[in-house]
Amino acid sequence: MNANNYHSGFIAIVGRPNVGKSTLLNHLVGQKISITSRKAQTTRHRISGILTEEHAQFVFVDTPGFQTKHLNTLNRGLNRVVTSSLRNVNVVLFVIEARNFDERDRQVMNLLPKNMPVLLVINKVDNMENKSELLPFIQEIAKEREFTAIVPVSAKQNKQLDTLLNAVRPYLLEGEKIYPEDEITDRNERFLAAELVREKIFRYSGEELPYSVSVVIEQFKIEGKLRRIHAAVLVDKDAHKAMLIGKNGEKLKEIATQARLDMEALFDGKVYLEVWIKVRSGWADNAQVLKSLGYE
């Protein structure tokens, strides 16, 4: 490989709940930025973490559909969502737990397109008291489908994560960085702030609110350890605005408080957050709004 060649690509991390996907992502990218939500569609931008190295950039993406806690309710419609969410990734990391491969894992595995490189990640090997159990376990799973590689790791203890990245590397494509390095932090923080507000809106508003809600970060100022964030929530109708504000403004207060607490944990510093609800009118023509929504 020519030393100047840069490689980059998209990687999906999938697996049933609790196998350690978030832990793995956090330890791979070295930053706590994985966000979960009950409604998969709340994630309009699908990037969940970026690892930039001298010669390679790994962009980890969310895969709506795999996020569900109720895999047994998966139907054909969802199946399509899952498949299309994987269309643009270069490789899939299918995460399971050491010693614990069951029907729920099989359900996730069966949703993975046949023609896609799938790397099996056996997580939590630190839980295995008897290491001689690992090989027979691997041999059993290898019968389930063709994996391009099988890598046992401990996400929590940071073990074998370099081996995992090395196994992913051949699937990155030659090309420039997908995201410029110097923009990543700020862009991520703005994006994550919007995602957190959006996540709380969906969590606290139940099923009634349509997915047309957008969150625009109108101000994001860093003053030492303090972040001043102004978020505008754009809705289509006055009724939606009233729904989000709630009785005596209580719902909006709860949304803003929960979003702020998450932001403070995520950014590791104090956050001053203001959230407004706006009924949009002709907002789609507004270049400024489109830009802040990421549609440039």
Ligand X SMILES: Nc1nc2c(ncn2[C@@H]2O[C@H](COP(=O)(O)OP(=O)(O)OP(=O)(O)O)[C@@H](O)[C@H]2O)c(=O)[nH]1
Task: Give buried/exposed letters for 135-173 (b at 16+ CB in 10 A, else e).
Answer: eebeeebeeeeebebbbbbbbeeeebbeebbebbbebbe
What is the x/- site pattern for ligand X, positions 3-32, by CB under 6 A?
------------x-xxxxxxx---------
151 is in an annotated binding site: no
Pick out residues in 135-154 that bind ligand X (CB under 6 A): 154
In the bound state, the residue with its beta carbon closest to ligand X is 20
**Where does this chain touch ligand X (CB under 6 A) — which range of 123-131, 182-190, 235-243, 280-288?**
123-131
- Residue 197 found at the interface with ligand X (CB under 6 A): no
Distance CA 291, CA 268 (A): 27
CB of 42 to ligand X, least distance (A): 14
CB of 233 vs ligand X, minimal distance in Å: 25
Beta strands in the chain (DSSP E): 7-14, 47-52, 56-61, 91-97, 118-123, 149-152, 173-174, 214-223, 226-235, 271-279
Would you say 247 is a known binding-site residue?
Answer: no
Q: By the 8 A CB rule, do 11 and 165 touch?
A: no
CA distance 30 to 288: 32
Beta carbon nearer to ligand X, 99 or 241: 99
Count of residues engaged in binding ligand X, rule: CB under 6 A: 16
Distance CA 98, CA 123 (A): 6
268 is in an annotated binding site: no
| Residue reference for tokens 């997908």 | 178
Site for ligand X in 155-184 (CB under 6 A): 155-156
Shortest Å, Cβ 93 to ligand X: 11
Nearer to ligand X, 36 or 83 (CB): 36
Token pair for residue 108? 């996730």
Which residues form the interface with ligand X (CB under 6 A)? 15, 17-23, 36, 123-124, 126-127, 154-156
Q: Which residues are annotated as a binding site for GTP?
A: 15-22, 62-66, 123-126
